[in-house]
Amino acid sequence: MSESNYDNLQGDIRDWETPEIETFENVYPDRDYDITMTTDEFTCICPKTGLPDFATLSLTFSPDKLCLELKSFKEYLLVYRNKGIFHENVVNKVVDDIVRAIKPKRLVLEGTFHNRGGIQTTVKREYKA
């Protein structure tokens, strides 16, 4: 594989099996409010270099019938520690899995990845039901 060829490095992301994210009932589904969860301990592996990537993930969502259980979400994120995944795919995969688990009214996930080669990357995805 040439150094400029990224083909097939991430083709199976949507099919990756990830742990189920536990939830609990929202007792205020009739109200619009936001929950924000932030971690500065997110890690994954660059699929191109095999080196670790570090990021701050900030998730804000407005729950409908279900809320995200915090410990379960933390354990879910730990799965990425040994995964080779591009920054853009981290944010999209995590959003897909959270939406599937809790079906929020709206959600925003922003991943701020630490500098690599002098360039800092931020990836943001918004979801609305």
- The residues annotated as belonging to the active site are 46, 53
Q: How far is CA 40 from CA 19, 46, 107, 110, 112, in A?
A: 21, 17, 19, 12, 9
Phi first, then psi, for residue 88 (nearest 5°) are -60, -40
Q: Which residues pair with 58 in a beta bridge?
A: 38, 110
User: Which structure tokens are listed for 96?
Assistant: 């897909």
Q: What is the DSSP letter of 56?
A: E
